[in-house]
Chain A
Amino acid sequence: MIRVINALLAIIGGVGAALLLYYVLNKLVEMLPQKWEERIKPWVFAGVALAAIGLFLIYPAVRTIILSFANATSTAWVGLENYTDLLTSRDFQITLGNTLLWIAVVPAVTVALGLAVATLADRLGPRGEKLTKSAIFLPLAISGVGAATIWRFIYEARPAGEPQIGLLNAVWTALGFDPVAWLTVDTLRFNSFLLMVVVIWGQVGFSMVLLSAAVKGVPVDTLEAARIDGANERQIFFKVTVPQIWGTVITVFITVLITVLKAFDIVFVMTNGNFNTDIIAVRFFNELFRNGDNGRAAAIVVMLMLAVIPVVAYQVRHFRAEEAAR
Chain B
Amino acid sequence: MTTTGTTPPPTPVPGEVQPRRATPRRREAGAPGAGQGAASPVVKIVLLLLCLLWLIPTIGIIVTSFRTPDAANTSGWWTVITSPLDFSQYTTANYREAWNGGMGNAFINSFAVVLPATVIPIMIAAFAAYAFTFMYFPGRDTLFVVVVALLVVPNQVALVPLLRLYTDTGLTGTYAAVYLAHIGFGMPLAIYILRNYMSTLPKAVIESAKIDGASHFKTFWKLIVPMSVPALASFAIFQFLWTWNDLLIALLYLGPGEREVVTVTVAGLVGQQNQGWQLLTAGAILSMIVPVAVFVSLQRYFVRGLTAGSVKG
Name the residue in B8, B43, B183 with the highest tally of chain A Cβ atoms < 10 Å from its Cβ: B8
B229 interface residue (CB < 8 Å to A) = no
Query: Provided the pairs A146-B266, A146-B287 are in contact, do residues A288 and B252 lie with their beta carbons within 8 angstroms?
Result: yes
Out of A4, A123, A138, A145, name the residue touching B112 (CB < 8 Å). A4
| Residues of B contacting A: mostly | helix
**Would you call B33 and A258 a contact (CB within 8 A)?**
no
**Would you call A8 and B287 a contact (CB within 8 A)?**
no
Chain A residues with Cβ below 8 Å from B34 are 119, 122-123, 223, 233, 236-237
**Would you call A61 and B310 a contact (CB within 8 A)?**
no
**Would you call A19 and B184 a contact (CB within 8 A)?**
no
Out of A166, A214, A255, A320, name the residue touching B8 (CB < 8 Å). A255
**Would you call B307 and A210 a contact (CB within 8 A)?**
yes
Chain B residues with Cβ below 8 Å from A48 are 124, 127-128
Bound-state CA distance A245–B137 (Å) is 36
Give the segment of B24-32, B81-89, B94-102 that binds chain A: B24-32
B214 interface residue (CB < 8 Å to A) = no
A276 interface residue (CB < 8 Å to B) = no
**Would you call B175 and A304 a contact (CB within 8 A)?**
no
**Which residues from 113 to 142 on chain B have a C-beta closer than 8 Å to any C-beta of chain A?**
113, 115-116, 119-121, 123-125, 127-128, 130-132, 135-137, 140
Chain B residues with Cβ below 8 Å from A74 are 164
Chain A residues with Cβ below 8 Å from B252 are 285, 288-289
**Would you call A251 and B78 a contact (CB within 8 A)?**
no
Out of B4, B151, B312, name the residue touching A315 (CB < 8 Å). B151
Hey, what's the 0/1 contact readout for B56-92 against A, CB within 8 Å counting as 1? 1110110010000000111111100000000000000
Query: Provided the pairs A56-B162, A142-B292, A217-B313 are in contact, do residues A120 and B270 lie with their beta carbons within 8 angstroms?
Result: no
Q: How many residues of B contact A (CB 8 A)?
A: 146
**Would you call A247 and B16 a contact (CB within 8 A)?**
yes
Hey, what's the 0/1 contact readout for A12-25 against B, CB within 8 Å counting as 1? 00110011001100
B204 interface residue (CB < 8 Å to A) = no
Chain B residues with Cβ below 8 Å from A262 are 2-4, 8, 154-156
Chain A residues with Cβ below 8 Å from B109 are 3
Chain A residue with Cβ nearest B59: A150
B280 interface residue (CB < 8 Å to A) = yes
Bound-state CA distance A24–B16 (Å) is 42
| Residues in B lying within 8 Å of A, measured CB to CB | 1-8, 10-18, 20-21, 24-27, 29, 31-39, 43-44, 46-47, 50-51, 54-58, 60-61, 64, 72-78, 108-109, 111-113, 115-116, 119-121, 123-125, 127-128, 130-132, 135-137, 140, 143, 145-165, 175-176, 179-181, 183-185, 187-188, 190-191, 199, 215-217, 220, 241, 244-248, 251-252, 263, 266-267, 270, 277, 280-281, 284, 287-288, 291-292, 294-296, 299, 303, 306-307, 310-313
Known: A124-B36, A255-B12, A262-B156. 16 other contacts (CB 8 A): A49-B127, A123-B35, A124-B43, A142-B288, A143-B7, A145-B270, A163-B76, A166-B76, A210-B310, A221-B25, A258-B1, A259-B2, A281-B248, A284-B159, A304-B156, A315-B14
The contact sample of 30 A-B pairs, CB cut-off 8 A, is A7-B175, A10-B176, A22-B127, A26-B217, A56-B183, A56-B185, A60-B160, A63-B160, A123-B35, A124-B36, A128-B47, A138-B295, A142-B6, A153-B57, A153-B61, A198-B6, A201-B54, A213-B311, A220-B27, A233-B34, A250-B16, A258-B11, A263-B5, A281-B156, A289-B251, A312-B153, A318-B13, A321-B17, A325-B17, A325-B20
